[in-house]
Amino acid sequence: MKLLLASNNGGKLREFRSVLESAGFRIYSLADAGVAVEVVEDGATFSENALKKARTVAAEAAAGGEFDAVIADDSGICADALGGAPGVFSARYSERGDDANNEKILREMRDKADRRAHFVCALAICFRDGREEVIEERWDGEIANQSMGSGGFGYDRVFVPEGFEVTSAQLSPEVKNKISHRAKCLQQLIFRLRE
Ligand code: IMP
């Protein structure tokens, strides 16, 4: 089965490939497929944004007709003490990229006793026959007091998953890809694709 991932995020692409290719699926990025689209992520929820990305790319890729499904992930981190921020604005939190996003969340959380936070992943699937599905999962943990580790991407250096004393950037990819918000969505995706 050939799947087109509606993303240009290298960190996400690595995780999708690692999980889905070992399950026997072939993953193509937008660059691989020669699809260039700009999707404005203006939805109020992760699911709305994921579905919008998948639909836009599916409409664009339909002309080629070579993919069995288009999948899109919209994800982010929500801190309880910040009222769920940055949430759907995670990618644009500082407007200056991952390092500045991490600095900003550590700064905003500096005086907060309640460190609880969770990642959310919404995964939208547009099948070639027009069926659509959205899967949403979360990964609970806390915001660290400082940035630690060098693995993963995005907010991994400031997120300590429940049950661990290290950040998700300090976990091996094998471990993160079994337990993360995205990993849980991908396990369900594999199940649906094999149905
Ligand atoms: P999106 O590409 O619009 O979905 O934005 C996702 C945002 O959440 C980006 O800032 C990512 O870095 C961040 N993010 C999503 N998933 C993860 C993860 O697994 N680890 C770290 N950051 C993540």
CATH number of the domain enclosing 79: 3.90.950.10
Which residues, in sequence order, are CB contacts of 59 under 8 Å at separation 6+? none
Could you tell me the pTM of the whole model?
A: 0.96
Q: Is 187 in the pocket of ligand 1 (CB under 6 A)?
A: no
Count the neighbouring beta carbons within 10 Å of the beta carbon of residue 175: 15
Minimal-distance CA residue to ligand 1 atom 9: 91
b/e per residue, 38-57, with b = 16+ CB within 10 A? ebeeebeebbbbbbbbbbbb
Residue pLDDT, tens place only, 38-93: 899 999 999 999 999 999 999 988 755 789 999 999 999 999 999 999 999 999 99
CA 180 to ligand 1 center in whole angstroms: 12
Q: Assess whether 73 carries a catalytic annotation.
A: no
Residue pLDDT, tens place only, 81-105: 999 999 999 999 999 999 999 999 9
Q: How many domains does the chain have?
A: 1
CA 96 to ligand 1 center in whole angstroms: 14
User: Whole domain around residue 24: which residue ranges?
Assistant: 2-194
Q: Considering only CA atoms, which of 93, 151, 152, 90 is closest in space to residue 119?
A: 90
pLDDT > 90 fraction of the chain, expressed in percent and rounded: 91
pLDDT > 80? residue 168: yes
Q: Is 155 in the pocket of ligand 1 (CB under 6 A)?
A: yes
Residue pLDDT, tens place only, 113-139: 999 999 999 999 999 999 999 999 999
Catalytic residue among 74, 111, 114, 156: 74
Minimal-distance CA residue to ligand 1 atom 11: 154
Kindly report the length of the chain. Answer: 195
